[in-house]
Amino acid sequence: MDELEIKIVLAYKVPEIGLTLNGILRGLEQDKDILMRSMVKAILHALEEKTVEEQIISEPGRYIRYGRRKIGRVFRTSFGTVRYRLGQIYDKKKKTVFCPLVRKLGVTRYKQYQEESLEAAVGQVIHLSYRLASKEVRRIKGSAPAKSTVYRRVQELTEKYGQWPSFQHRPFKFLMADGTKVELQEGRGLSVGQRPLRWAFASEDVGKRFEPVGFWVNKDWASIRQDLEKRLDYRKLEVLLSDGEPGIEENLLSEGMRQQRCIWHGKRDLPILLYQDGWKKEEQQPFRKLMEDILLFSLTKELLEEVLEPEKELVVELVEEIKKGFEKLIRALSPDKYPKARAYMENFYRNALLVFDFWLEGKGWLPLTTNALESAFSRVVNRIKRIGRRWSEKGLMNWLAIAMRKIFVPSLWEKLWTDYLRMNKQLILSRLTVEYVWI
């Protein structure tokens, strides 16, 4: 490994009165980009001289120096614009002129904005619109790519390096799935209406966090199942946790898997279905009271783990009490008067008590709700529905691939940029000497 020594002389005017620490720090902050741009030019020049010399020596008589390009190449970096006139070599054998430094450093043709300058703007796009992300980075750093440039690079970044990784090696036991609606557009911004956005998270065991394993736009649950079987070792999944959305149970449950319905959704959805059966809020009160009497709906995972004594007899008694409450509620829901509410509650009851069976089997407490998933995904939903109100299907999927890494799996975000920047090796600071003298 060669060592390049760069000597820099800095001179500062120091006010005798009124200088504060913040004044020093802000002054250095404003000057660092100038310093970095000067260093880049020095390093490029040094590397170019060495590369040209090596090229000429490699085949004596074939290559000769050919001056520099008339127009300087513009490199837009994370610390501003660097203009550099690239040195050229004439190849007598091929009768061509080329820039050896471009070949040596793998400089991208026709692109002013270098990949390393984009991470700040792309990171901001996860939380802000493309326009505001560009504006905010420009405010902080002094320069930034335009919103259209950021958009194009997000698409490029995702299509080249943003594919979902395989999770076949991960021993996932639990699968949690949910969905919402998003406004899509096509062509010249023409709305095509709301389409489903669905996602799935998986966990390796009780107490382990749920991680994203897929997002899908405008896909049905049958297609999602096919994707998940390619992505996961589906045979190892034991439990499906969901809110009861149509299609989830039918398509995502496999032989040997069991289902745990989200308790919160069960409590929330009954009044909605009673209303659909034609019964208004005042007429729903008896059923609301019967539901409140069911202990399941007042339980939390913290209560189960920290308050309820871990004795099998107590848990069995609790389950029997909960079952009696459900049976009482279902008897009150006449199938003639409340067909939707009755059918919903019967189905919910069949899949709501796995959490106790699982514990009685000695496997620990399952989550009672899908709230952890919804809470984690709320940042994504807020960005999609509030900050960006209309998306193309492709644009949304590409954004999701980036957001997943930034928000949920930071290690994949780092790997994404390592791959994108093609950083096999980088400069290493070997020594630093700082001296000063009053002049």
Quote the DSSP letter at residue 60: T
The CA–CA distances, whole Å, from 63 to 99, 165, 374 equal 12, 46, 63
User: Rounded distance, CA 281 to CA 287, Å?
Assistant: 10
Torsion angle of the four alpha carbons 320, 322, 325, 327, in this order, in degrees rounded to the nearest 10: -60
Contacts with 280 (C-beta within 8 Å, 6 or more apart), sequence order: none
pLDDT of residue 408: 87
- DSSP code, position 303: I
Q: How confident is the model over 309-318, as pLDDT tens digits?
A: 778 888 899 9
Lowest mean pLDDT segment, chosen from 45-49, 158-162, 333-337, 369-373: 369-373
Segment 306-327 mean pLDDT: 87
**pLDDT (average), residues 334-363:** 91
Report whether pLDDT(82) > 80. Answer: yes
- Give the model confidence (pLDDT) of 206-254 as tens digits: 989 899 999 999 999 999 999 999 999 999 999 999 988 889 999 999 9
Residue 231 pLDDT: 93
Q: For the CA atoms of the chain, what is the radius of gyration? A: 31
Q: What is the DSSP letter of 12?
A: -
Token duo for residue 237: 């999944």
- pTM here is 0.80
**Residue whose tokens read 């076949």:** 168
**Residue indicated by tokens 């189960």:** 304
Cα distance between residue 112 and residue 436, in whole Å: 37
Beta bridge partners of 211: 202
> Taking 80 as the threshold, does the pLDDT of residue 327 lie above it?
yes
Query: How far lies 2's CA from each of 41, 47, 58, 428, 429, in Å?
Result: 18, 11, 19, 11, 12
Structure tokens given for 305? 């783990």
CA distances from 278 to 267, 331, 334, 335 (A): 18, 18, 13, 13
User: Which DSSP string do the residues of 27-52 spell out, in sequence order?
Assistant: HHHHHHHHHHHHHHHHHHHHHHHHHH
Show me where the domains of the chain are located: 1-112, 117-161+394-425, 174-393
Contact 260, 240 (CB under 8 A): yes
Distance separating alpha carbons of residues 88 and 94, to the nearest angstrom: 14
Q: What is the pLDDT of residue 307?
A: 67
User: What b-and-e string marks burial along 213-251, b requiring 16 or more CB atoms within 10 Å of the CB?
Assistant: bbbbbebebeebbeebeebbebeebebbbbbbeebbbeb
End-to-end CA, the chain: 38
Q: What Å distances lie between residue 203 and 21, 170, 206, 432, CA to CA?
A: 49, 9, 8, 47
Exposed / middle / buried, residue 129 (Cβ in 10 Å: 0-12, 13-18, 19+): middle
CA distances from 6 to 22, 46, 380, 431 (A): 29, 10, 46, 11
Query: Is the pLDDT score of 187 beyond 80?
Result: no
Q: Mean per-residue pLDDT for 400-419?
A: 89
pLDDT score for 147: 92
